[in-house]
Amino acid sequence: MTTLAGKVAVVTGAGRGIGAAIAKALAAAGATVACASRSVAEVEATAQRVRDAGGRAIARRCDVGDASDVAALYEAVAAQEGGFDLLFANAGVSLDQRPVGASDPAAFEETFRVNLFGVYHCARLAIPHMRARGGGRMVVTGSGMGHSSLHGHAAYSASKAGVWMLVRILADELRADGITVNELVPGPVRTAMTGVPQREGSVVNNPIEWLKQPEDVVPLAMFLATHPGPGPTGQSFSLMRRTF
């Protein structure tokens, strides 16, 4: 596949899990991929795997909750590649899985800093770069917990609900610029962050739900990256069956 030849993509949370899988797939389709993560070792490992497979990759440390980090990431990509066309805002955390009354305010705030403000910084600062390229695609990793409530996950659910609203607002604001903005809801994925309990490939407390590996999310991510213009925008694409 060379459907993304000549394109440049930025993927946050690319050190492992879904982000790493998406970064490798984008590169395999011909894109130059800027891999970003708070872990230098992990993101450099992802970039090296891309290069070993014959792709082009940039590795950068970036805390998406810090606007100056995001700006520095984009400036580095623009200096080396002239700009970028695709943004996969994938970085996220789940730090406090307790009811609101028993929650840790610091962990609650940190969850919002990364999950919601991280998407805000990534999207806001990407706009001028994508406008300069004549358009682009933003894909944000959302969650089913951002659409329906789940006991004990207040911080994560509320932050992802904010992300879903931000996606729709951005889509309306950027439609005229040829920039699409969509949400990708992976559903349960076996990653270091989620630690989803499993039994024979399904989720223990919901056996009809499809428990995925990170690579199982790639086909939907690639659909959103390669769909002919103008393409869908302001929509949520889900691999999840469960309604909380």
Spell out the residues 6+ positions from residue 40 whose beta carbon is closer than 8 angstroms to its own: 59, 61
C-alpha 236/C-alpha 213 separation (Å) is: 20
How distant is the alpha carbon of residue 134 from its chain centre? 22
C-alpha 42/C-alpha 26 separation (Å) is: 18
What is the DSSP track for 12-57?
ESTTSHHHHHHHHHHHHTT-EEEEEES-HHHHHHHHHHHHHTT-EE
Return the active site residues.
156
Sign of dihedral through CA atoms 236, 237, 243, 244? negative
